[in-house]
Amino acid sequence: MQVRLEGVLLDVWSNVYPPKRSTRMLIKNIDVPSRAVVLDLGCGTGIIGLIALRRGAGRVVCLDISVRACRNALENFRMNKLVEMVDVVVGDGSSCLRDASFDMVVLNPPMTPSPRPLPRYTWGGIDGREFLNRHLHDVPRLLKSNGQLLITASSLIGIGWVAAFLERHGLRVRLRGYELVKCGRLLRQLMEHIRSLSHASLVYLSDEPYWLLAVIEGRKKA
């Protein structure tokens, strides 16, 4: 399937995370310093890295645990004639990357809480926080002085929890944007489980359940 997003032609392969509302929110909030080195952590199709290059980044690293996603991302950089400006890395987390290597890290983590396995690109484990608990602590060391992390968070895992986590690891935090999202079919199927999580919160409008999606910035102190 091919889509065009923000002027970028994108081939979306099966079993690779397609651009969704959270992707678009990140894109809306990406302000890339000129010639910046950007890490797209959990790159999926590579759309974030492609947008970063179009907005002035000098180099992009795309990292994903999925070999298929990395191949899909590489093909999209080829299709958009930007393959010389990207390094695509297959890996589980960022431990393979050097300290203070990036001006910006962008992360749209899997955070759907579910007691049963879901596709890897969306499943956040039973509490929705599994990926973040394993990997988020390592992000600050990747940032250069005054470097920026841009991350999505949801009320299903606790937006305040994510912000506090970043602050504990030395980043200055601010909210960049948020919106209410109506619960789709999958979340409705998981509603009993979600309600059992003490950290998850929902908003009801006309008896319909919504969750809050936010973009948080974490800035490394100069």
pLDDT (mean) for 86-109: 94
- Does residue 131 form part of some domain? yes
Of 91, 119, 214, nearest to 160 by C-alpha is: 214
At 96 the pLDDT is 87
pLDDT tens digits along 7-42: 899 999 999 999 999 999 999 999 999 999 999 999
Of 160, 170, 50, nearest to 106 by C-alpha is: 50
- Does residue 204 form part of some domain? no
Write out the residue range of the structural domain in which residue 128 sits: 2-178+213-220
Identify the CATH number of the domain in which residue 157 sits: 3.40.50.150
- Does residue 20 form part of some domain? yes
Of 126, 40, 132, 50, nearest to 89 by C-alpha is: 40
- Does residue 190 form part of some domain? no
At 32 the pLDDT is 95
- Does residue 141 form part of some domain? yes
pLDDT tens digits along 144-159: 999 999 999 999 999 9
Is 222's pLDDT higher than 90? no
- Does residue 205 form part of some domain? no
As for how many domains the chain has, the answer is: 1
Is 1's pLDDT higher than 90? no
Record the pTM. Answer: 0.95
- Does residue 203 form part of some domain? no
Consecutive H or E run containing 170: none
C-alpha–C-alpha distance, residues 133 and 21, integer Å? 23
- Does residue 43 form part of some domain? yes
